[in-house]
Amino acid sequence: MPLPRALAIGAALVVATSLAATYAWSQRGGRMYIEPNVPYDGKYAFARLRYTEGYRMAWSADYPKMERNFMTILKDLTRMRVHTQGSNVYTLDDRALGQQAVAYLTEPGYWYPNDREALGLRTWLQKGGFLIVDDFYFDQQWRVFEEGMRRVLPEGRIVPMDLSHPVFDTFFRIKSLDGMTHPATPMAKAQYLGIYEDNDPTKRLMVIINFNNDIGDYMEWSGEGWYPINFSNDAYKFATNYVIYGLTH
């Protein structure tokens, strides 16, 4: 259920963007600078997954500006204790990922998890992790994502989601799943799909998949006026629901 403070999202967008950190490319090898992970201290820190096969930089889309904006909004809207000036990046097989209940995977149209990474992510999911998948479009990227996910969860079934699921009513009550079609890809209708524990819809949702959608991009540029304000607001609502669902299930 949304709280009255949710009305403050629009006003907070510009403030959140002003707090965003920057990242730089190394002069040696063109590698991206990855900020040190936030030490565990009981506060919530955003966790992003880094894959090492395929197009290796795709994992970093919107990093770390999106994290900064989202954590600022989450702190403003909830009573959660969060890190607004730091986040975490993990490879799929990093044991430290086990300290996190929720993780974000972006641009899976370019990931090709190897056996070690697939096992690491599978183990984390089976132990209670909740994965948010975002930012990919059209049939080819879907095929790449699906192939990778089959390596992670060979028996997992990907099924369509609808508004009856609690993930869409955990903090904000999402009233429609039809309003997030990206302006740059008007022919790609946003879809929401999931994978359940033991493929049983009465059990825990393990993976939420935003296909033909990019809530990370909306959050990254939420204070720049690039997208309609309702798209940015909705992105924060979905993201907030996902995190709170993952932390409470």
- Cβ atoms within 10 Å, residue 115: 9
Which residue in this structure is represented by tokens 């992003």? 48
Reading the block at residue 195, the tokens are 């994978």
The residues of the chain scoring below 70 in pLDDT are 1-31
**What pLDDT shows up at residue 86?**
94
Position 31 scores a pLDDT of: 59
Among 199, 53, 57, smallest CA distance to 116 is for 53
Domain boundaries, the chain: 4-248
Do residues 34 and 22 lie in contact, with contact meaning Cβ atoms separated by under 8 Å? Answer: no
Tokens of 13: 């967008």
DSSP code for 169: S
What is the model's pLDDT at position 223?
Answer: 86
Would you state the pLDDT for residue 118?
97
CATH class of residue range 4-248 = alpha beta
> No. of H helices and E strands in the chain?
6, 7
